């Protein structure tokens, strides 16, 4: 059960960080 919770938290963190990272890369590319 704990592994499932950790995996869900990891998935949630990834889905939050990935778009922010993508936007950051686009901003760097614009400059």
Query: pLDDT by residue (tens digit) across 1-31?
Result: 788 899 999 999 999 999 999 999 898 888 6
Give the predicted TM-score (pTM) of the model: 0.51
Supply the pLDDT for residue 30: 82
Task: Output the CA torsion 14→19→24→9 (10° steps).
Answer: -20
Rounded-to-integer distance, Cα 13 and Cα 4, Å? 14
Phi, psi values for residue 15, rounded to 5°: -70, -20
The domain ranges of the chain are 1-30
DSSP 1-31: -HHHHHHHHHHHHHHHHHHHHHHHHHHHHH-
Supply the pLDDT for residue 11: 92
Supply the pLDDT for residue 7: 93
Rounded-to-integer distance, Cα 17 and Cα 12, Å? 9
């Amino acid at each position: 059960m704990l592994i499932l919770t950790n995996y869900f938290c990891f998935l949630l963190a990834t889905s939050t960080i990935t778009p922010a990272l993508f936007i950051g890369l686009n901003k760097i590319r614009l400059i």
